[in-house]
Amino acid sequence: MQALVLAGGEGTRLRPLTYTTPKPVMPLAGRPFLSFMLDWLRGHGVTGAILSCGFLSDAVREVLGDTHQGMRLHYVTEEEPLGTAGPVRLALEGGILEERLLVLNGDVLTDLDLTAQLARHAATGARATLALIEVEDVSSYGVVPTGADGRVEAFLEKSDGPASTNRINAGAYVIEREVVESMIPSGRAVSFEREVFPALVGDGLHGYEASGYWIDIGAPERYLEATYDLLSGRLKSSLPPRDETGSLIGTGCLVSGAHIGPQSVLGSHCSVGSDSTLERSVLHDRVLVGADCVIRDSVLAGGVRVGDGARIEPGAMLGSGAKVEPGAVVGLDARVAPGAVVQAGGSPA
């Protein structure tokens, strides 16, 4: 089976982290995000994946390389963003698409049953089958009402107003190559959600009601939620064992005298000074935290430095190489740009 992973969005909601690291390889629980997705695909018989990249594509290739656990990785890079469907057309024109393929949004962490979805697709003779998942708040997703026979009745991308169902597009599609040939125009950006799927309603578009774990990691609170779920084992993974506080500490870290956890992740070569507290927070690689600091529910990108006695309040995200001076406070939900300096008693400079 072949899969194409859409990994070219700019990840705007995860800025400032995504200014320097593209969302597909953003460290999640200490591993590049897509490695979880590739494990999942491999478990459902995918032998080769096309990674559709745009924004910071070299970085994706550098991190993931050309194989993953024996699975071939093929990169297709677009010069200009082609939306969600345009990249599939580009792959078609490159002559690399098989008769039937899986298309995945590249920011979804899930264990939904692709094997069952593929079987349903084959049994109904659909032209495209979308995995649907139930969520409480549908407002940031594509809402997909279906009839009793599973046929999609409408595709409503991020529409306002009351929704007729809580089932949303989970970002995992089985698609016949014929649909790519006939429904996706060439040479311009095309959206599955706003153009292709609405046009396919009543013409061979089916839904598959999936269950299991599902989260889109593309927003700060969901990135942290996915981290906690992986640490607690709510989603099965091949992560190394966590310590007694449910935390993961990478290689070469120095943390003696610090209070780490619960549910924190340190990348490699981080240090946290004595009497500092780090709770439900994520440090990417080479983050240096001084003594007597307090950091809660926050994400610090690679190379961030935090001076002694500084405080980072919940919801903060600090871009790569940012510096927090001794005694400074980074406020609730703050965003600190890569390389910026937060001074004591002031705002980022």
Find the helix or strand (DSSP H, E) in which 335 lies.
strand 335-336
- In angstroms, the CA 245 to CA 279 distance is 10
Phi, psi angles (nearest 5°) of residue 308: -55, 140
> Which sign does the torsion angle of CA 184, 140, 57, 112 carry?
negative
| Residue 82 interacting entry, from Mg ion, ligand GDD, none, C-beta within 5 to 8 Å by type | ligand GDD
Closest to ligand GDD by CB, 84 vs 263, is 84
| Residue 169 interacting entry, from Mg ion, ligand GDD, none, C-beta within 5 to 8 Å by type | ligand GDD
Looking at this protein, which amino acid is placed at residue 201?
V
Closest to ligand GDD by CB, 167 vs 286, is 167
> Which sign does the torsion angle of CA 165, 158, 224, 129 carry?
positive
Partners of residue 76 on adjacent β-strands: 52
Minimum separation from the CB atom of position 165 to ligand GDD (A): 13
Closest to ligand GDD by CB, 143 vs 328, is 143
- Answer yes or no whether residue 87 interacts with ligand GDD by CB under 6 A: yes
- Answer yes or no whether residue 107 interacts with ligand GDD by CB under 6 A: yes
Minimum separation from the CB atom of position 173 to Mg ion (A): 14
- Answer yes or no whether residue 106 interacts with ligand GDD by CB under 6 A: yes
- In angstroms, the CA 136 to CA 200 distance is 26
- Answer yes or no whether residue 56 interacts with ligand GDD by CB under 6 A: no
Segment near ligand GDD (CB under 6 A); pick from 79-87, 178-186, 200-208, 338-346: 79-87
Partners of residue 152 on adjacent β-strands: 146
- In angstroms, the CA 205 to CA 95 distance is 24
* Of 10, 6, 39, 40, the residue nearest 23 (C-alpha): 10
Partners of residue 271 on adjacent β-strands: 254, 288
* Interstrand relation of 167-176 and 108-110 (parallel, antiparallel or unpaired): unpaired
Q: Which of 1, 61, 74, 81 binds ligand GDD (CB under 6 A)?
A: 81
Partners of residue 71 on adjacent β-strands: 68
| Residue 106 interacting entry, from ligand GDD, Mg ion, none, C-beta within 5 to 8 Å by type | ligand GDD
Q: Supply the angle between the helices 33-43 and 57-64 in degrees, to the nearest 10.
A: 60
Q: Which of 84, 146, 271, 298 binds ligand GDD (CB under 6 A)?
A: 84
- Give the tokens for residue 140: 């940031």
| Residue 56 interacting entry, from Mg ion, ligand GDD, none, C-beta within 5 to 8 Å by type | none
Cα 105 to the chain's mean position, in Å? 8
Minimum separation from the CB atom of position 252 to ligand GDD (A): 31
| Residue 54 interacting entry, from ligand GDD, Mg ion, none, C-beta within 5 to 8 Å by type | ligand GDD
CB neighbours of 23 closer than 8 A, spacing ≥ 6? 7, 9, 11, 14, 33, 106, 107, 217, 218
- In three-state secondary structure terms, 327 is coil
The binding track of 3-42 with respect to ligand GDD, each residue x by CB under 6 A or -, is: ---xxxx-------------x-------------------
Closest to ligand GDD by CB, 172 vs 295, is 172
Minimum separation from the CB atom of position 11 to Mg ion (A): 9
Which residues lie near ligand GDD (CB under 6 A)? 6-9, 23, 52, 54, 78, 81-84, 87, 105-108, 141-142, 157, 168-169, 171, 193, 216, 218
